[in-house]
Structures are given as C-alpha cells and as structure tokens.
Amino acid sequence: MKIGIVGAGQVGASAAYAIALLGKAREIVLIDLDPAMAAAQAEDISHAMPFAATTEVRAGGYSDLTGAEVVIIAAGVSQKTGETRLDLLARNAAVFRIVTDQVLTHAPDAILLIASNPVDIMTGITLRLTGLPAHRVIGSGTILDTARFRVLLGQHLDIDPRSIHAYVLGEHGDSEVLSWSSAQVGARDLLSFARETGRPITDTVRAAIDEGVRRAAYRIIEGKGATFYGIGAGLARLVAAIEGDENSVHSVSIMTPEMEGVKDVPLSLPRVVGKGGVITDVAPEISAEEHAALAASAKLLKDTLEAVRI
C-alpha cells in the first residue's frame, strides 16, 4: 500500500515512523510546505528501516501521491495571538481547500485520514470541501482518548489494556464522553470484574481516570510542548486496518447523519474500519447520563461547524 502524509511535523512524522515500523506500507511519501523538513524526516525514518521493514520513505510533492490509497492530513496553521478559535478554523479551512484539491487531483480514490485539530471540525470541513462520501473522510477522533482510557483502566485492574473494551465517544476534546456503562474486560462487564478482583471502580477511582483521560493532552503539552507519539501510533493502527481489510473496530470520527437528535455532525463512535474506510457503526449501549453528555457533545460540535466560514 502507498501512503501519503501531508504535514511532516511531529504528528505526521510520528505517523510515518509508526507505519513504517509496522511494515504496513510499501511506500510513504511525506509532503510539507517546508520541503527541507519533509526530506529530513523521510531520510531519518528511512535509516530505521534496516531494523524493521522494507518500506520506502521519501519526501515529495503532490504529484507523487499518484496511486496512494490512504492520505493522512496533518497540516494546519497555528493560532495567532488574540485570534479566536473560529478565525483559526476559517484559516485552516482555507489551507485544507488547497490541500484537498491537490490530494484528490493526484489520488482521487484515496481514503483521507484527518489528524489536524480540532479533528472533528476539520473532518466535517474536509467532507464539505471535497464532497466525498462520509466513509472515506475519517478523523482520528477519539482513537487516542480511547487508548488513554484503556491504559488507565489497565493500570488500575492490572490487566493488559488490549483486553479491555472501553470507548470514548463524541468530541476529541473537553466534551468527550467516557462510556463507562458499556466497558468490558474480556467478556465481563467492567464494574463486576473490578469488584470481584478486589479493584473496585469507586467514585474516587472513576474521577481520577476521567481526569487522567480528559486532561492528558494538557499535561503532555505542558511537559514537552506537543503530543505526537500516541496519535502517530493511532494513525498507523488505522492504516493497518485499511491495508489488511480487517473490519476491526476503532473509535473514529466521521460525519454522522444523526446523533442524539443532532443531524449531520462529525463525532466519534466505535466503527468498523476496513479496505473501503468506515463500514458501519457499532454504537454501544450507554446510560441515560451518557446519552445526555453525548447529546451535549454533538450539539457543541454541530454549532461550531456551522459557525465556520468555508
């Protein structure tokens, strides 16, 4: 599989590195407004390949995307001093108009994986700009939040997080919803398993895990300036699901026809991902409280998307 990555900064480069180490692409093309940085990232990653896989990693231009089956978009502009969030979104929409026009000119059949933040809104903007079907415009959404949730649950329960089935729904952001009521360990519901193994989910534990998931990005950014390894690995996992036609379940963001009474809103649910992109939803059974929180998250995202000038 040939992969294109637009935006060779920390997120784009981390994704390229993870994809290459997994050996899930025969070729990765890095594109950036700064060609020298893209070339340096590609050369650095290519030097890791003798230890891992046969993936060719190189820098290029949009014309080099010909034949790419997946294109990750990790590009965008930074917020200026005094600039509102909506103004920033409008400027990023203008960047995406240029980027998506070029991408689809050279790789018209590619699945687009959106990594630029705020990822749900940028996913909705990309869909509107391109007119592609929703299943081919996939935001990384809460795939990272879901991983954080599982890691913290695994630490509390002393269980491999890969054996925990728990999802974060809605926005990749402050209004996200941790779906406690549907969480499972193997085939057992989370709360029963925790209680029976002497590691109950008390209100204190639940609050600490919620805070740990919800504030993770803030802590990491405060400590080192940005988050990139986790999301890089998450994007690589999505590429693997597409490349292998896995039909595996991941919490990703696409334009959703209706959620909690809110129509045409980009948000995350557990979804089946395979060769064609998103195949179907696997909506979990959630509590009344979680339904209300998901409705609030959906409304926030819808209102923000509608306010952006495209």
Residue showing tokens 């203008």: 94
Both structure tokens of 5: 């990555």
Task: Name every residue whose Cβ is closer than 8 Å to that of residue 238 and which is 6 or more positions away in sequence.
Answer: 113, 138, 140, 143, 250, 252, 273
CA separation for the pair 260, 277 (Å, rounded): 24
Beta partners for 27?
Answer: 2, 56
CB 177 within 8 A of CB 154: no
Residue 101 CB coordination number (10 Å): 12
Catalytic annotation, pick one of 135, 165, 172, 250: 172
Residues 255 and 264: their CA atoms lie apart, in Å, by 6
Report, in this order, helix, strand and coil percent for the chain, each rounded to 5. 50, 20, 30
Q: Rounded distance, CA 274 to CA 266, Å?
A: 19
Active site residue 47: no
Instruction: Give the side-chain half-sphere CA count within 13 A for 255.
Output: 20
Residue 268 phi/psi, 5-degree rounding, is -100, 140
Nearest to 149 by CA among 208, 231, 228: 208
Q: Enumerate the active-site residues.
A: 172
